[in-house]
Amino acid sequence: MAAARENIQCVCDLRAPLPRGGTIPQLGLGTWLAGKGDVMEAVRYAVLECGIRHIDTASVYGNEAQVGDALKEVLSKGVSRDQLFVTGKLWNSDHARVEDACRNTLRNLGLDYLDLYLIHWPIPTAEPALSETWASMERLVDLELVRAIGLANFSHKKIEALQQTASKPISVIQAERHPYWLNQNLVNWADAHGIHFSAYSALGSHSSMGQKGVHQAGGPELVDDPRLCALAAKLGKTVQQVCIRWALQARPQGSLIAKSTKAEHIKNNCDCLGWSLSDDDMQVLNNLPQRRMLTGQGFLSQEGPYKTIADLWDKDEKYATQA
């Protein structure tokens, strides 16, 4: 594997193995909060001009149809379906209608199958139980509507609970990770249990986190951190490039989602090979103050299922700070 990676010229060509077989591109384009017009051009540019092959979507983002229009264009211009890796997500209100929700996403995207389908949050707005939702996710694999299934924003305790009744492996856990939130407890647990960890909000941007004060913890932007800015200036790179390079060095077999709709930023995000961070540089980024950006507090309710942040992320996890 190491020898093969030496010949890779672009980060877009890096792939990591998945537990059930197959691979996942290590750099994906995020589409959360991307406007309907902007997202079409971003996906088109990312795939055709930069070589990005992983597109991360979700029904709740409200732009699946526009992503689908862009995919139709790139597939008509020489990119084959098996070169692409498309992730979709099941929203909270759809736990009782998993197959219908997945088929609707496929219609919006103009695809026959998804490479990866995730339960977006462990928060069904009605019955069934999460174990039943997972059983329905497994049926999607049998129906060949999806190639792999996984979870997003689950604690390791909630994943363990699902594993008690699961008949198919949980291939991926997608969760927040960047230098301001290493999420190392969950990363280590996933590695130990053969589950691929994929980092979202890899650039730690507030703009990727949604409505301020609802899901976002607040505080300074990672990209404005003076230590990160000084490191980027020293290397002659953007702070976003440094964040991506950090993610790739810290977890050579991991993957990450970086959201941008600007062509220049998408192009720069792909320029993360051929240079590296020193051990001292990595130490700086591994020791920044820790805080979760996406708290999930907007999902809390006195009626349940989660009344407090500690309930959502589980009491043994350091959800506010992390050593």
CA 133, CA 39: separation in Å to the nearest integer?
30
CA 228, CA 208: separation in Å to the nearest integer?
19
Contact 263, 35 (CB under 8 A): no
Burial class for 76, CB neighbours closer than 10 Å (0-12, 13-18, 19+) = exposed
CA 43, CA 50: separation in Å to the nearest integer?
10
Contact 96, 67 (CB under 8 A): no
Q: Which of 61, 180, 306, 319 is catalytic?
A: 61
* pLDDT at position 9: 65
C-beta atoms surrounding 322 within 10 Å: 16
Token pair of 43 as six digits: 């996906």
- Averages of pLDDT over runs of 10 residues in the chain (323 residues) are 48 91 95 83 95 96 95 96 97 96 98 98 88 97 98 96 95 96 95 96 68 52 92 96 97 94 92 94 95 86 87 66 36
Helix/strand/coil for 199: strand
- The domain made up of 2-313 has a fold known as TIM Barrel (3.20.20)
Strands (E), the chain: 15-17, 23-25, 27-30, 54-56, 85-90, 114-119, 146-152, 172-176, 196-200, 255-259
- pTM exceeding 0.85: yes
* pLDDT at position 218: 56
* pLDDT at position 211: 46
Alpha helices in 121-218 (DSSP H): 130-142, 156-163, 184-192
Query: Domain boundaries in the chain?
Result: 2-313
Cα angle: 27, vertex 151, 282; to 5 degrees: 45
Burial class for 167, CB neighbours closer than 10 Å (0-12, 13-18, 19+) = exposed
Alpha helices in 49-174 (DSSP H): 64-75, 98-109, 130-142, 156-163
* pLDDT at position 216: 56
Q: What is the largest CA-CA distance in the chain?
A: 55
CA 90, CA 98: separation in Å to the nearest integer?
7
CA distance between the termini of the chain: 32
Token pair of 276 as six digits: 């590296």
Q: What is the separation of C-alpha 55 from the centre of its chain, rounded to a whole number of angstroms? A: 10
* pLDDT at position 304: 80
Is 117 one of the catalytic residues? no
Burial class for 21, CB neighbours closer than 10 Å (0-12, 13-18, 19+) = exposed
* pLDDT at position 134: 97
* pLDDT at position 191: 95
Query: Any idea of the CA torsion for 250, 252, 258, 262, to the nearest 10 degrees?
Result: 110
